[in-house]
Chain A
Amino acid sequence: MAIRVFLVLVLFLSSAIVSFSLYEDQAGLADWHQRYIGKVKHAVFHTQKTGRKRVIVSTEENVVASLDLRHGEIFWRHVLGTKDAIDGVGIALGKYVITLSSEGSTLRAWNLPDGQMVWETALHSAHHSKSLLSVPINLKVDKDYPITVFGGGYLHAVSALDGEVLWEKDFTAEGFEVQRVLQPLGSTVIYVLGFVNLSEAVVYQIDSKIGEVVAQKSMVFPGGFSGEISSVSSDKVVVLDSKKSILVTIGFIDGDISFQKTPVSDLVENSGNAEILSPLLSNMLAVKVNKRTIFVKVGGEGKLEVVDSLSDETAMSDSLPVADDQEAFASVHHEGSKIHLMVKLVNELDNVLLRETIQMDQHRGRVHKVFMNNYVRTDRSNGFRALIVMEDHSLLLLQQGAIVWSREEGLASVTDVTTAELPVEKDGVSVAKVEHTLFEWLKGHVLKLKGSLLLASPEDVVAIQELRVKSSGKNKLTRDHNGFRKLILALTRAGKLFALHTGDGRIVWSMLLKSQACERPNGISLYQWQVPHHHAMDKNPSVLVVGRCGSDSSAPGVLSFVDVYTGKEITSSDIGHSVVQVLPLPFTDSTEQRLHLIADTVGHVHLYPKTSEALSIFQREFQNIYWYTVGADDGIIRGHVMKSSCSGETADEYCFTTRELWTVVFPSESEKIISTLTRKPNEVVHTQAKVNTDQDLLYKYVSRNLLFVATVSPKGAGEIGSVTPEESSLVVYLIDTITGRILHRLSHQGCQGPVHAVFSENWVVYHYFNLRAHKYEVTVVEIYDQSRAENKNVWKLILGKHNLTAPITSYSRPEVFTKSQSYFFAQSVKTIAVTSTAKGITSKQLLIGTIGDQILALDKRFVDPRRTLNPSQAEKEEGIIPLTDSLPIIPQSYVTHSHRVEGLKGIVTAPSKLESTTHVFAYGVDLFYTRLAPSKTYDSLTDDFSYALLLITIVALVAAIYITWALSEKKELSEKWR
């Protein structure tokens, strides 16, 4: 009896705590967090003062950051809103970082040392236009030269101290577009040069103190300008005319305008269209003609002459004043696997100040941007450092002929993620494993025990952390028993594929997508191409990378097959057609290559791999292949089937035409598709039946062909504040993608998007905004199969009068019923995912990516339609939680604990071999990985398990046995003597 009670007690203790939680000293054991900024657009160095040398950068991911120039670490960074793209960055007064964003309508100042926002000013803008930020370069803090900003037709002068708008000029009426603002040092007059309708050049002289126009001159240029401009000195700019064949030098000395035309053909023979490159060089400009870069010197009277010519693959920096009124600029070009960095004087191009050759990884591609900075060495000569942005978005600092640091900024724009196994540990190949002596082992465990009893000193805590990381062997490059070590394959927008180790997040290998057809294919998506497990065991697994030449969906696609173990590209091909949709088929060939269909814009599908074996497999299943397309613009969902082989001279036998089978048309005046979702195709469902408390059976309707669609009324498609509850409604549908049948429809009046949903097994959970309550809501819909509901009778099962063995066909009309329930949720959501385990036995958790870029793990039991206000005793025993009107946010169940995954875009889960555990990888600007056990690690001992305590207990027990034995001997002896 006592034992039974004891067992019950132990069971109770082990099952009481279910929520995810972490002790502070466990942070970083199974998880890692990496911080990125994205592809750098602008960089401003701040190295004048002694102390910390830093570079301020703004990126394409709308990040403004201050980086340490010595190590490349982030001092501070801010991720602005998604619509708040940064147009310009500068440093004012030597202490504020100024950023201009949102097309010139938001100006912010950040404190340089710590990144605290100092002031923020909203500027008027009437229309979309390119914007311009001009921060006066002065080192004197006491004099406040205004910052001039042009954007949306207005020119503003803003005080750098407090962000106050000193004056503004409205140019919207004239259609005047400011191109350059020149602020001669020491003068209060600023020169504003711009174009009216790209045909008339206008120069305003404006008093920078009061904003009054002192003088204005304009001149019409008959040919019109193309808008490309390069300012070469304080009173001259060079523009291209609208035909891009004539360079026009515009001089505006003292407010007088003069034009001087020089045809490009005078400079270069057989010239085509010219293009002015962005670097600003003094008295010189760089022009790209005939795939070469030419340097054109601008003489005193506006006369142009070619002084140098370089190959096309050269990136250049702006020029920079070095000693003695001379300016220098840096240029970087490739030669094989090396890059050459040269710093030349602008006036004497033959005078090369610096020539460095640096070995460069092939997989970084070419140099995109160069930012140069100079410093004075101890011997008073000039030293140069260059910050370069590569084609794969990585950021490198070059100094003294070496790469000082590099940052893999491509990982800030991950587009697709998949996971892959590591190679099996082979016999004979001993993987470095540190064998502990018993003493060390014991010492370690005693330390751990001290830690768990809160007796450890700070040094002990450090030792414990080190020990834990070391002993777990989590960073090895081989497969482990539990499947904890895996590779995360992440494809970036730049078309680079990274393999990250789950143990510590390091990059195992990386590969840049290449194409013959275009320079820089974008990465779109990743698929498991070959996962050998039964037959071709000797083969390495491989993934299919789908890319595209250009951003348009009709652009030709690029396929690349990459070996997962080595990171080498097996083959790549430029497929002649576009890629709209990639459909992995549930068939593999004899080498376990998965068959894929790729749909193009013309309405054809193409089969891959292009082998006769794949074709024969495909022909067998020709009639059974269905797929659907979602037309979000016209509100139509279409189902398709295969029709026949393509005809036409260009078609091969792997191309097929398709036929429309069904359409679901949503009325465009009342419904607009905002979200569609299907189940993950590789999800494992453990059981089809669900037992109720009253011994009742419910059969889950588990179908791979269900599509969740959410529509809102067109008015409600905008932002939250833009619509009243009466005007907006949200409707969700569950549609069978084989037959086009609508299985379920649920409408929410007075609700609107955005809808974030997750679909797993037989349930959908979605998050939307309720306008009436003005709160976010989460609704769960569970689908059950009615047709099999009669099977719960035991007698029927015994007598064989059940339909469990009847074949299930997707064509039949399923009898389903649904249960649903809604709850309030207190936060905006960016994305929702669900945990997935190897066999699907472990209970599931929703992973909710919140607006604060944290990830909240919410037990599925909280979104169970069977929750009631007062659950009966039986229901309580089953684990049904009493119904509450809102879902709880328990701070300990944030899986990201004290980190933020800035700019969160997606969460990917993958099962490990251990049933209780799942891998979670979240990506955005940052990356975060952790391992989760939604129902605790019931199938293995946790890291916390104290072997020392076990050992001590055993020793104590043995000692007790001996002592009592000795005592009893003694007692027996004394009794015998009595």
Chain B
Amino acid sequence: MAPILRSTSLLAFFVCHISLFFCFFASNLPISSGSEDSYTITGRVRIPASTVIGHAAKFSNIKVVLNGGQNVTFLRPDGYFTFHKVPAGTHLIEVNAMGYFFSPVRVDVSARHHGKVQATLTETRRSLTELVLEPLRAEQYYEMREPFNVMAIAKSPMGLMVGFMVVVVFLMPKLMENIDPEEMKSAQEQMRSQGVPSLSSLLPASR
């Protein structure tokens, strides 16, 4: 059964690729009978292969929502969706797909032109010549763990502590060497006269 399905979906895909014009035309057709002012909106969701991250986009988990929940429909294997019995007016279509952000689409169904559909992305204000919805961006719900690098460790509080110690241990003696020996001697004498330096004397507040 699966091979049959796949072949049909591929075929539909192919047909639509070579004749996008036809697809658009079909979307403009109102239903032939029934009440006068109810039309059909047909569109298509396409997820470009380049934006597929990790998990492949499963059409079975994508919902298309009209007017904030008035109607909910699902995608066919070829990515097409249809809203039936939509009155003329200005509507809003949203696509919910895990892992992708779709701009809501403003859809004007014209009563004068027998259900001619005009679509505009509300986020980018880009008008669509055909109702093919593509995600604005892929969404990553998790923070990416940064790969192991030395800088990250060095930046962490512990790393800074170690770095500070290293500076004290290895650079301080070097600094001491540069000090004039006579000055050093006088400083040492001064310290001796003051006695053993206690912790309190080191604190700036006690001085």
Interface residues of A (CB under 8 A from B): 2, 6, 9-10, 13, 21-25, 27, 76, 78, 80-84, 95, 105-106, 108, 111, 113-120, 122, 124, 452-455, 719-722, 724, 754, 769, 771, 773-776, 826-828, 830, 851-853, 889, 891-892, 894, 897-898, 900, 949-950, 952-953, 956-957, 960, 964
Contacts and interface: CB of A to CB of B under 8 A. Distances in A.
A891 B140 contact: yes
Given A720-B70, A774-B92, A116 B162 contact: no
Given A23-B142, A24-B142, A774-B90, A957 B123 contact: no
Contacts of A722: 87, 89
A116 B78 CA distance: 11
Contacts of A889: 101
B142 A454 contact: no
Contacts of A106: 84
Contact of B161 (A81, A82, A853, A953): A953
A404 to B, nearest CB: 27
A372 to B, nearest CB: 27
Contact of A826 (B70, B89, B90, B103): B103
B145 interface: yes
A120 B161 contact: no
A826 B123 contact: yes
B169 A84 contact: no
5 contacts: A114-B60, A454-B145, A775-B122, A851-B65, A894-B139
A897 B141 contact: yes
A824 to B, nearest CB: 9
A326 B207 CA distance: 105
A83 B145 contact: no
A721 B162 contact: no
Contact of B76 (A82, A120, A721, A952): A120
A956 B162 contact: yes
B54 to A, nearest CB: 10
Given A721-B86, A722-B87, A118 B94 contact: no
A957 B166 CA distance: 9
Interface string B86-118: 110111101011110101101001000000000
Contact of B60 (A25, A115, A771): A115
Contacts of B122: 773-775, 826
Nearest to A853: B96
Contacts of A964: 169
Interface stretch (B13-21, B43-51, B150-158, B178-186): B150-158
A892 B137 CA distance: 13
A454 B169 contact: no
A953 B158 contact: yes
Nearest to A106: B84
Given A828-B65, A851-B94, A889-B101, A122 B84 contact: yes
Contacts of B139: 891, 894
B70 A124 contact: no
B96 A852 contact: yes
B53 to A, nearest CB: 11
B60 A76 contact: yes
A9 B89 CA distance: 57
Nearest to A27: B142
Q: Which of A9, A773, A851 has the most CB of B within 10 A?
A: A851
Closest 10 CB pairs of A and B: A122-B84, A81-B72, A852-B96, A891-B139, A828-B68, A721-B89, A720-B67, A721-B91, A953-B158, A24-B142
Majority secondary structure, B binding face: mixed
Contacts of B65: 81, 828, 851
Interface of B: 1-2, 5, 31, 33-34, 40, 59-60, 63, 65, 67-77, 82, 84-87, 89-92, 94, 96-99, 101, 103-104, 106, 109, 120, 122-123, 139-143, 145-148, 153, 155-158, 160-162, 164-166, 169
A924 to B, nearest CB: 13
Contacts of B97: 852
Contacts of A84: 71-72
Contacts of B84: 106, 122
Contacts of A773: 122
A263 B81 CA distance: 53
Nearest to A141: B1
Contacts of B106: 774
Given A722-B89, A828-B68, A120 B74 contact: yes
Given A81-B69, A754-B68, A454 B141 contact: no
A769 B68 contact: yes
A897 B142 contact: yes
Given A122-B84, A826-B104, A889-B101, A21 B143 contact: yes
Contacts of A124: 33-34
Given A827-B94, A950-B158, A95 B142 contact: no
Contacts of B169: 960, 964
Contacts of A78: 74
Contacts of B94: 827-828, 851-852
A953 B153 CA distance: 11
Contacts of A891: 101, 139-141
Given A118-B5, A774-B106, A826-B123, A455 B148 contact: yes
Given A84-B72, A113-B2, 6 more contacts: A24-B145, A83-B71, A124-B34, A454-B146, A721-B89, A891-B101
B71 A22 contact: no
A840 B47 CA distance: 44
Contacts of B33: 124
Q: Which of A25, A81, A108, A454 has the most CB of B within 10 A?
A: A81
Nearest to A829: B68
A6 B160 contact: yes
A80 B84 CA distance: 15
A720 B104 contact: no
A156 B33 CA distance: 15
Nearest to B38: A122
Contact of A453 (B60, B143, B148): B148
Nearest to A116: B60
B104 A953 contact: no
Contacts of B74: 78, 108, 117, 120
B165 A118 contact: no
Nearest to A124: B34
Contacts of A13: 155
Contact of B143 (A22, A105, A720): A22
B89 to A, nearest CB: 4
Contacts of A21: 142-143
B151 to A, nearest CB: 12
A722 B63 CA distance: 22
A118 B76 contact: yes
Contacts of A23: 142-143, 145
Contacts of A851: 65, 68-69, 94, 96
Contacts of B161: 953, 957
A76 B74 CA distance: 14
B174 to A, nearest CB: 13
A393 B103 CA distance: 38
A116 B77 contact: yes
A299 to B, nearest CB: 44
A953 B162 contact: yes
